[in-house]
Amino acid sequence: MELCPCGTGRAYAECCEPVIKGVRPAETAEALMRSRYSAYVKVETDYIFTTTHPQHREGYDHDGTKEWAESAQWHGLEIVTTKNGGPEDTRGEVEFVARYTEKGDEKVHHELAAFKKEAGRWYFTDGKSVGQQPLVRGPKIGRNDPCSCGSGQKYKKCCGK
């Protein structure tokens, strides 16, 4: 059994292959995202084009997409979050991380992808790169403030030493 590249742990023949081959449509935005990743791995670039919404196909580079899919070594897909995109929805978002190696360099593609459902079919519409999230620190503790550990001492005499 060949596992599906999309990371579900299911067989490719039961997971993304029927969607890519047109046997059945993707039921959710996440299923379309997973099948598109698998299509890159399997170099099924016509599927990438046909699952891109017709209003968002301008400038699509068939040759460049195929060359990139063939030259990359694909390491995995992680779905970070999904928003809407269920079987009854018409719009959805999927945040994902795709890992691959290109020309010997390990790369990470982190994207928030938007999807739209029309006439019973999901389409990719747009993607925005997700940068590294800023580090959020708690409130700053002054040297003479009570220590946050609850000791009752001043911060400078306790954990701030």
Mean pLDDT computed over 139-158: 70
Do the Cβ atoms of 92 and 86 come closer than 8 Å?
yes
The values of phi and psi at residue 39, to 5°, are -65, -35
**Residue environment code for 25-40, b if the CB has 16+ CB neighbours within 10 A, otherwise e:** ebebbbbbbbbbbbbb
What CATH number should be reported for the domain whose range is 17-132? 3.10.450.50
Task: Using the predicted structure, report yes or no on whether residue 100 has a pLDDT greater than 60.
Answer: yes
For residue 154, the model assigns a pLDDT of 73
Q: What is the mean pLDDT of the chain?
A: 90
Residue-range domain boundaries for the chain: 17-132
What does pTM read for this prediction?
0.80
Task: Using the predicted structure, report yes or no on whether residue 120 has a pLDDT greater than 70.
Answer: yes
**pLDDT tens by residue, 122-146:** 999 999 998 755 545 556 667 677 7
Do the Cβ atoms of 18 and 78 come closer than 8 Å?
no
